[in-house]
């Protein structure tokens, strides 16, 4: 029995922001990026913090998982998140799709 899971975009974005703030130490020669992965197998959207320091191993740290496949929900979470952080977002495995609300390309 799946049932409808209510996802509050603000709450989810806050949680993601809290976790990423702890990881974002703003070092020199270091790229920070949020990966948003469309996980077809798990039927979830996964968030990771990707940290790339020049000449060092890349790190990818899980931030959160949204247990839904609904793009509208994801779009709302992303909109909330964008208001809190300027870090670049990298969308993985979405193909050529538009956001359902804004009708912009997902990239």
Partner 1 sequence: MDYRHEPHGLFFMIDNKSFYASVESVARQLNPLRSVIVVMSEADNTGSGLVLAASPMAKKLFGISNVSRQYEVPDDPRILVVPPRMNLYIQENLKINKIFREYVADNDLFPYSIDESILDMTKSCRLFGKTPEEVARRIQLRIRHEMGLYTTVGIGENPVQAKLALDLQAKHDHELIGRLTYESFPEAIWPITDLTSVWSIGRRTAAHLNRLGIHSMRELAMVDPYELQAEMGLIGAQLFALAWGIDRSQLHQLRPAKEKSWSNSQVLPRDYRSQQEIEVVIREIGLQVTARMRHHHQQAGCVSLGIGFARAGEAEDGRSGFHHSCRIEPTDNAQLIAATLLRLFRQHWEGQAIRNISVGVSRLNRSQGLQLDIFQDPQRQLKNERFDRVIDELRDRFGKTAVIPASSLLPGGTMLSRAALVGGHNGGNSFD
Distance CA 60, CA 48 (A): 6
* 39 binds partner 1 per the rule CB under 8 A: yes
* 14 binds partner 1 per the rule CB under 8 A: no
Please identify, using beta-carbon distances, which residue of 35 and 75 lies nearer to partner 1. 35
Extended beta strands in 1-98, E state:
30-39, 44-53, 58-66, 88-92
* CB of residue 80 to partner 1, shortest distance in Å: 17
Stretch of residues binding partner 1 (CB under 8 A), selected from 1-9, 40-48, 71-79, 97-105: 40-48
Distance of CA 8 to the CA centre of its chain: 15
| Residue that is written with structure tokens 């952080």 in the block | 85
Site for partner 1 in 43-72 (CB under 8 A): 46, 48, 52, 54-65
């Amino acid at each position: 029995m799946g049932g409808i899971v209510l996802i509050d975009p603000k709450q989810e974005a806050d949680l993601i922001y809290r976790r990423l703030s702890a990881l974002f130490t703003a070092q020199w020669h270091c790229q920070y990026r949020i990966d948003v992965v469309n996980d077809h197998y798990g039927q979830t959207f996964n968030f990771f913090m990707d940290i790339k320091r020049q000449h060092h191993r890349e790190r990818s740290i899980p931030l959160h998982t949204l247990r839904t496949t609904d793009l509208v929900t994801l779009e709302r979470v992303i909109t909330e998140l964008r208001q809190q952080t300027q870090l670049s977002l990298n969308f993985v495995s979405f193909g050529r799709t538009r956001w359902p609300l804004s009708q912009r390309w997902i990239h």
